């Protein structure tokens, strides 16, 4: 028996709260100035929000207004906002000037993956983890009588030999006055149909009434595995949120996922992984690698079919018009296929 576990977190998790603030600011910058260059970091703790990073943009941003809007959306308060954002390094900005030959905003390695296991093209257990989170979020968002607060995590364990889900762990914050048995029955009624599994472990640490940013500090970019493929394939070292699409950490990861999905269909593959590497200031990638279950050599096809320059990726995926705040609510690739308002 080979067991593998994967996880997902809700948009109310403090790290995702931080991601959404960073991407809400990014979205507003790009809305006002398509040539904005941004690398925005956020830290949240309790009712305090700290903004950092760099922005070079002609946009006139009301940071406090954006932060408080996102906080209110998620049931938080932002009573104290500390803004440490500065301008981007002029040398870096010059290297990625927004013309037809945009240079990569940083060096890095990016991975894309796709599998036939699910319609979302994500691994089955990770897809299940995200579906459970989506059901919990829907209840927290739309049910006025819910006992849930929203902050939640799931962990799904699969037997790689049989493809069966063997254990599902759900930890979810709930309102005061609920005992553990009530919470367990409530959650199982909500999400029990998302997969066949005999072993459901719900709130294994007991009742959980103090969660979110009150209980944990949240940071932008701390959920890079949940944002991508749940650990089933390799990921690059760079996070997504707060970065404009000249930053290939984000845009090339999106493109690598698209290419993997395209190759899956065109060549009837069961799974495909694409890796792309870049050097800062250079528009063409310095490396490209494609792995797949059929061991097909697809390097020439990809290089002849896709424009892998930052400018080409931005055009192909329409990344100057994306709603990054919404994308950042969960896994960036699950959101693309299973929700609305996502990148192209």
pLDDT in tens, 16-71: 999 999 999 999 999 999 999 999 999 999 999 999 999 999 999 999 999 999 99
> What integer pLDDT is reported at residue 341 of this predicted model?
39
Q: Rounded to whole angstroms, how far apart are CA atoms 298 and 302?
A: 6
* Among 116, 126, 109, CA closest to 274: 109
pLDDT bin (cut points 50, 70, 90) of residue 192 is confident
Task: Flag whether pLDDT at 343 surpasses 80.
Answer: no
Sheet containing strand 200-202, strands side by side? 3-9, 148-159, 164-174, 200-202
First-to-last C-alpha distance (Å) of the chain = 39
Higher pLDDT, 108 or 3: 3
Q: Looking at the chain, which runs of residues are DSSP E strands? A: 3-9, 37-45, 48-56, 80-83, 108-115, 148-159, 164-174, 200-202, 218-219, 271-278, 287-292
In this prediction, residues 210-217 reach a mean pLDDT of 96
At 310 the pLDDT is: 94
| Mean pLDDT score of the chain | 93
pLDDT attached to residue 103: 77
pLDDT in tens, 226-243: 999 999 999 998 999 999
pTM of the model: 0.94
Query: Percentage of residues in the chain with pLDDT exceeding 70?
Result: 93
What pLDDT, on the 0 to 100 scale, is given for residue 334?
86
- Check pLDDT > 80 for residue 185: yes
Q: CA angle, corner 117, sides to 115 and 121, nearest 5?
A: 45
Domains and CATH numbers, the chain: 3-9+124-210 (3.30.300.10), 15-95 (3.30.300.10), 108-120+224-338 (3.30.300.10)
- Edge to edge, the sheet with strand 287-292 lists 108-115, 271-278, 287-292
Encode pLDDT of 279-335 as tens digits.
Answer: 988 999 999 999 999 999 999 999 999 999 999 999 999 999 999 999 999 999 986
Q: Tell which phi-psi region holds residue 154, choosing left (phi > 0), alpha (psi between -120 and 50) or beta.
A: beta
User: pLDDT tens digits, residue range 75-92?
Assistant: 999 999 999 999 977 766
């Amino acid at each position: 028996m080979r067991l593998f576990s994967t996880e997902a977190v809700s948009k109310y998790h403090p790290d995702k709260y931080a991601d959404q603030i960073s991407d809400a600011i990014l979205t507003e910058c790009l809305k006002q100035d398509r040539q904005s260059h941004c690398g925005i970091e956020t830290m949240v703790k309790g009712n305090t929000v700290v903004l950092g990073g760099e922005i070079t943009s002609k946009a006139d941003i009301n940071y406090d207004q954006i932060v408080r809007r996102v906080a209110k959306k998620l049931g938080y308060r932002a009573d104290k906002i500390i803004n440490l954002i500065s301008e981007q390094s002029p040398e870096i900005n010059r290297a990625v000037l927004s013309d037809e030959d945009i240079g990569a905003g940083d060096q890095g390695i990016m991975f894309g993956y796709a599998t036939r296991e699910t319609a979302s093209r994500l691994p089955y257990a990770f897809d299940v983890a995200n579906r459970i989170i989506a059901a919990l979020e829907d209840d927290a968002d739309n049910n006025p009588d819910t006992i849930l607060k929203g902050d939640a995590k799931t962990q799904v364990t699969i037997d790689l030999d049989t493809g069966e889900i063997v254990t599902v762990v759900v930890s979810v914050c709930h309102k005061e006055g609920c005992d553990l048995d009530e919470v367990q029955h409530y959650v199982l009624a909500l999400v029990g149909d998302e997969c066949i599994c005999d072993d459901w472990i719900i709130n294994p640490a007991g009742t959980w009434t103090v969660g979110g940013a009150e209980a944990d500090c949240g940071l932008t970019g701390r959920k890079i595995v949940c944002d991508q493929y749940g650990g089933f394939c390799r990921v690059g070292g760079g996070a997504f949120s707060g970065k404009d699409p000249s930053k290939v950490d984000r845009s090339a990861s999106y493109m690598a996922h698209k290419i993997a999905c395209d190759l899956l269909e065109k060549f009837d593959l069961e799974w495909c992984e694409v890796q792309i590497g870049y050097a800062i200031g250079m528009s063409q990638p310095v490396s490209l690698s494609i792995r797949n279950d059929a061991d097909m050599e697809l390097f020439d096809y990809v290089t002849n079919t896709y424009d892998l320059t930052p400018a080409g990726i931005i055009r192909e995926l329409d990344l100057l018009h994306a709603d990054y705040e919404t994308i950042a609510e969960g896994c960036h690739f699950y959101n693309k296929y299973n929700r609305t308002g996502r990148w192209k």
